[in-house]
Structure 1
Amino acid sequence: MTEALETMRRTPGAPCWANLMVHSLGATEEFYADLFGWEYAPGPEQLGPGVHALLDGREVAGIGKLPPDRHLPVAWTTYLATDDADATAESIRSCGGTVAVGPLDGGFVGRVAICSDPLGAIFGLWQAAPHLGVRPRGIPGTPVWSELVTQDTSTVGKFYEHVFGHEARAHADSSEDFDYLTLLLQGRPVAAVHGVGRSLPHDRGPHWMTYFEVEDPDEAAARVLRLGGRVVQPPREGLSGRLATVADPEGAVFTVVRSRT
């Protein structure tokens, strides 16, 4: 799940960025710096106050500040790559999704939009500027996987196939009790869709989950608690490796994973 995804980073339809909008930018920067070792540089001014998180000088994720009058849920947003944000936005609308913001000019980073699929899961579009290179993957502190958690995979799987050209393939262990699709591009897995039916969290609804690579998910979960966050699901073995689902002090939920290589 590491080396292969590195080469798929900017392939249209592949997850290419993770961004978090928060109320307290400074406190959030401190939390993730302590958890992942991130450093920060200013983000593009066109997109409002915010920073890009860095590891060894290379960008890995973004954190922005919500306007004081916007009381929105704090959550990580998965961005999917596109070569043409305007055309992809039109395809999203025609396939039953919604384009809430943009596409708009993000300055030196390219064009971006915020959208949702037919069941309401929010995601971003990013048409990256040509000069931007591939970001680091598969090292501790980097996003390594994205998974859509939704009611069921049937309708929404077709949406992502039509809009982004994914091949949606049922997992080998799929059954009436385990509804799981892997989304592939050029035969390589880039993301997944997990249908959880009535187990979908009532306070979140359908959502994209961002997985961050760590060396030790048990230690990372304990550190989240020490830093003022909480453990949503304790460390366990999953399809991608040992993992834990946690939340930062503002409530943004994410998963830490030691992926199998």
Structure 2
Amino acid sequence: MTEARGSAGRDDEGRDRYTPGAPCWVSLMVHGLAATQEFYGALFGWEFRPGPRHLGPYVRALLDGRDVAGMGRLPPDRHLPVAWTPYMASDHVDQTAEAIRLCGGTVGVGPLDAEDAGRLAICSDPSGAVFGVWQAAAHQGIGAAGQPGTPAWHELLTFESESVAKFYGTVFGYEEEPVVSADIDYLTLHLDGRPVAGLHGVGTSLPRDQGPHWLTYFEVADADEALHHVAGLGGHVLKPARESADGRVATVADPEGARFALIESRR
């Protein structure tokens, strides 16, 4: 599991730029922002600082002084799912948003400016899975990677992978690498020959209270210890730690129900 970042070069200030189409940011909208900060701060060691307030109160999570993720507060009158949302990099978010519409997706928010940080849109694919598009300005995206507490992978859980892969491939230029197996519907999306995300078709095995959705994996040093912390902090263990080709993996939810995965990578 790896993310394609930096291969597009650097910006005028020498910071890494994300390849268009690469997951570059992840954000969570919640009802109780302070309590959510306490949960993730204790779990991952994140610190927080104020971010753009284009959609209401918002903070950026930092690890060792580098940006890792964002969190915002949902308006009290909006009963929206509490879920982690990955953002894909774009050089022209308005053009990307138009391509999303033409390919059968939906643009629910934006495109709009997030102060001087950049420009964004929040969209959904034809199956209904929500994702964001980010055109960087002052804020390039995730600045820390490959260490505990950072996003390590993004995986779409959907009904079947083939049709939705065509959507993402057309919009973002991904190449597909399917897993050849009679038992699993899975393919990996690649940019410049590097894997950036996975699509997992699970048919009717999707959670009853949640349709197709993106799942973010966060790196941890010890999966079993992290699960103990999740439970102790008021979260929920949905799938206990298990071995995978990439390491030891578990699926959990925070106290508000936002699902995410933990991965103890093999290095």
Question: Shorter-chain TM-score category?
Answer: over 0.9
Tell me by how many angstroms 1:131 deviates. Answer: 6.3
Indicate yes or no: 2:43 matched with 1:35: yes
Tell me by how many angstroms 1:92 deviates. Answer: 0.3
Given candidates 117, 120, 125, the residue that maps to 1:117 is 125
Tell me by how many angstroms 1:54 deviates. Answer: 0.6
Provide the secondary structure at the position in 2 that maps to 1:32.
helix
Provide the secondary structure at the position in 2 that maps to 1:59.
strand
Provide the secondary structure at the position in 2 that maps to 1:7.
strand
Q: Taking every aligned residue pair, what percent have the same amino acid on both sides?
A: 64
Tell me, yes or no, if the aligned pair for 2:189 and 2:198 is still in contact at 8 Å. Answer: yes
Tell me by how many angstroms 1:175 deviates. Answer: 2.3
CA offsets per residue over residues 30-82 of structure 1, 9 Å max, x none? 00010000000001122320100011111100010001111111110011111
Indicate yes or no: 2:238 matched with 1:232: yes
Tell me, yes or no, if the aligned pair for 1:6 and 1:137 is still in contact at 8 Å. Answer: no
User: What value does the CA root-mean-square deviation take over the aligned residues?
Assistant: 1.4
Question: How do 1:109-188 residues align onto structure 2 when only pairs under 5 Å count?
Answer: 109-129=117-137, 132=140, 135-171=143-179, 174-188=180-194
Indicate yes or no: 2:221 matched with 1:215: yes
Tell me, yes or no, if the aligned pair for 2:67 and 2:141 is still in contact at 8 Å. Answer: no
Q: Which amino acid aligns with 1:234?
A: P
TM, length-normalised to structure 2: 0.93
| Separation of aligned partners in 2, 1:120 and 1:221 | 29
Tell me by how many angstroms 1:233 deviates. Answer: 0.4
**What corresponds to 1:7 in structure 2?**
6
Q: Which amino acid aligns with 2:23?
A: P
| Separation of aligned partners in 1, 2:181 and 2:123 | 30
Tell me, yes or no, if the aligned pair for 1:5 and 1:137 is still in contact at 8 Å. Answer: no
TM, length-normalised to structure 1: 0.95
**What corresponds to 1:77 in structure 2?**
85
CA offsets per residue over residues 64-116 of structure 1, 9 Å max, x none? 00011111111100111111000000000000100000010011210011100
Report how many aligned residue pairs link the two structures. 258
Question: Which residues of structure 2 form unaligned runs of 5+?
Answer: 8-16
Judge which range, 72-81 or 130-139, deviates more.
Answer: 130-139
| Separation of aligned partners in 2, 1:122 and 1:143 | 17
Provide the secondary structure at the position in 1 that maps to 2:100.
helix
Q: Which amino acid aligns with 1:183?
A: L
Tell me by how many angstroms 1:133 deviates. Answer: 6.9
Question: Which residues of structure 1 form unaligned runs of 5+?
Answer: none
Tell me, yes or no, if the aligned pair for 2:90 and 2:96 is still in contact at 8 Å. Answer: yes
**What corresponds to 1:56 in structure 2?**
64
Tell me by how many angstroms 1:134 deviates. Answer: 5.9
Determine which structure has the larger helix proportion and give its number: 1
CA offsets per residue over residues 137-177 of structure 1, 9 Å max, x none? 11110111000110101100110110000001102xx3232
Judge which range, 132-141 or 11-20, deviates more.
Answer: 132-141
| Separation of aligned partners in 1, 2:24 and 2:190 | 14
Tell me by how many angstroms 1:23 deviates. Answer: 0.3
Tell me, yes or no, if the aligned pair for 2:25 and 2:141 is still in contact at 8 Å. Answer: no
Tell me by how many angstroms 1:180 deviates. Answer: 0.5
